[in-house]
Chain A
Amino acid sequence: MNFKFNIKRALSIAKKEQFHIMRDPFTLTMATVLPVLLVLIFGLAIEFNVKDIGLTVHDSDRTFSSRKLVEVFSSSQYFNINPSRGSIVDAINDLDSERSKASLIIEPEFEHNLLAHGNTKAQFVLDGADNSTAGVILGYLGGIQKAANFKLTGTLVKEPIELKTRYLFNPELSSPWFIVPGLAVVVIAILSILLTALTVAREWENGSMELLLSTPVQPLEIIIGKLIPYTVIGLAAVLLVVLVAILGFGIPFAGNFILFGFGSLIFLIACLAQGMLISVLIRTQQLAMQIAMITGLLPSLLMSGFIFPLESMPKYPQNFTSILPSKWFMIISRGIFLKGADFSDLKLPFIGLFLLSAILIITATKKFKKDLEP
């Protein structure tokens, strides 16, 4: 393998690529509009804290205590009370018909038991088909139960062990705080893989690859030269995302900007190199674009921990995510953004990211065909 490298030739490739970018409205539009659009969509539309949950209440007791219990639910701002339309069966049917996500069934003896035995029961039925909502509701129940105890008995029940929870880094568990820093990862991944996937394929399609190959230019020079301008675009896109996060969503940037920039840079290079590899292997732009979408968008959305926690994955796919640059940068991005982590906290992800980008660049260079064999 020939790794002769001449920086001047790489720079003239970069300069030429810059002309292409500046004269192609598609590239520039995508580079600026896509990040902003994604931040707005994800930042505004995605909310993990489920609110306005339909709750059918079947109150057979109809006493002061049972009404108090219902009041706790209705005043929690999480639930919308749907009065029962008759029997207990109807209350359960409401889950089938999607009228409600949960049903609260209060038996006739509710208040009596409370007053007589100091202990009473109500049944809470959850729609398990939608398990992400069910999980969230379950999380609310603990708090609601406590509030109900206080309201019904007037005293805080002393439990032998009490766990007090405090959320660090995101005290209100605000979804945009969680989503937007992760979005930096998704934006870079999609943008850079898409942009670069087309560039080498385009040279093949236009015939200009024959011109390149008839000169002494080396594959590594072409790869590096093409990476440079897209790195600049990518960094600008990251900056855009960070600015929108801070100014638009009021998310505090806890860490070091330089370290974040450095992490973004390595991640960018890894993604660009991945796009370049696709482009080198696939000689038509259309196919390269489709493969870039699948390998760029899907893993960074689904397998990076962006929305779905990696810890909940089975062992094998979880290990697999380690070869995805987006997984490592997700850790870096959230760590620096929200927790203010420094380099010593993030050594492993940084090393992983660095190794992956080196491997991708070397593979792309090696796979670069220097001859015109059909």
Chain B
Amino acid sequence: MTNIPVNAVDVSNLTVKFGDFIAVNNISFSVEKGEIFGFLGSNGAGKTTTIRVLCGLLLPTSGKVKVSDVTYDQGIEAIKAKVGYMSQKFTLYNDLSIQENFAFTASLRKIPSDTLKRRTKELLSFIGFSKPMNTLVRDLPGGIKQQVSLAASILHDPEIIFLDEPTAGVTPVARARFWALIKQLAKDGKTIFVTTHYMDEAEQCGRIALMRTGEIIALDAPENLKKTTFPDPIIELNPKGTIPSEMIEQLRTNKAVDSIDSYGMKYHLIIKDPQEWNQLSINIAPYFVIRQIPPSLEDVFIRLVEGVTR
């Protein structure tokens, strides 16, 4: 069998403007089929806007978008039929039961009743839901709501699933559970496009795009991002006692140091000149526990996204 790689999503030179405000500025990227693709960025970076364009909820100002071989030229409805979308807002009706919510969504998408029955059964066992179907959504705990919402958004068995901050506001246990579901979906051949604030979630994506003020500033697998952003090791400084802030400022301006950022009580330092650093590390040894650590995605994020503005 020949395996021609067909992209699930192709975006080229996409720009979205709201009046004078540029929400998304000339971005281009592709998502492969079966990939878990993460969108990482702070609030207002343009993640949600991009997702909405890809789901047919927002018209692009300019640029080309192809989702699951469908372009905007074929109509917004053709795109809507191909994708599943789970908004960062909770979109099910609280005063309707799970059964009623599913039936309503299904009827809007013209899913036949026998298909609905089969899909409901599949999806509820997929998310491990065991309560009666006539439970009102408002009576469900937050984590379960999120999973039911996911199930509702993929009732029509879409090829691509867009999840806009799906785990915002749920417990860590529920987040882990939700990510297990996402991975299972990817394993079943679905393409997952997810935005998140959480670094640990971003680590689980196949590739991630970092967005800042409407632009993609980096796009790669998490491991590659770490390697390319930090070719040199990161030094963690753990203060032994109280450190005056002047000392940090002195370190920042030291020839040996490229940058130093605080991480909670600790500091992450990046070396500019290894020889100079050897000397400096001996000098500051009385004040810090010094150790070499692998870069985390958070280091990458801070360096790329926030470092630029500094």
Contacts and interface: CB of A to CB of B under 8 A. Distances in A.
A265 B291 CA distance: 79
Contact of B96 (A6, A19, A210, A213): A19
Interface string B83-109: 101010111111110001001110111
A214 B55 contact: yes
Nearest to B149: A211
A210 B89 contact: yes
Given A12-B108, A215-B108, A210 B87 contact: yes
> Chain A CB within 10 Å — which of B56, B96, B104 has the most?
B104
Contacts of B69: none
Interface of B: 18, 52, 55-59, 76-77, 80-81, 83, 85, 87, 89-96, 100, 103-105, 107-110, 152-153
Contact of B100 (A8, A19, A214, A216): A19
B110 A16 contact: no
Interface stretch (A319-327, A344-352, A366-374): A366-374
Interface in A337-374: 370-374
A6 B108 CA distance: 10
Contacts of B96: 16, 19-20
Nearest to B85: A214
A8 B110 contact: yes
Contacts of B58: 371-373
Contacts of A6: 110
3 nearest CB pairs, A to B: A207-B89, A12-B107, A211-B91
Given A12-B107, A207-B87, A213 B93 contact: no
B18 A16 contact: no
B120 to A, nearest CB: 16
A307 interface: no
Contacts of A19: 93, 95-96, 100
A265 B112 CA distance: 33
B18 A24 contact: no
B135 to A, nearest CB: 14
Nearest to B94: A206
A313 B203 CA distance: 73
Nearest to A221: B108
Contacts of A216: 77, 80-81, 108-110
Interface string A20-59: 1001100000000000000000000000000000000000
Contact of A210 (B57, B59, B105): B57
A12 B102 CA distance: 12
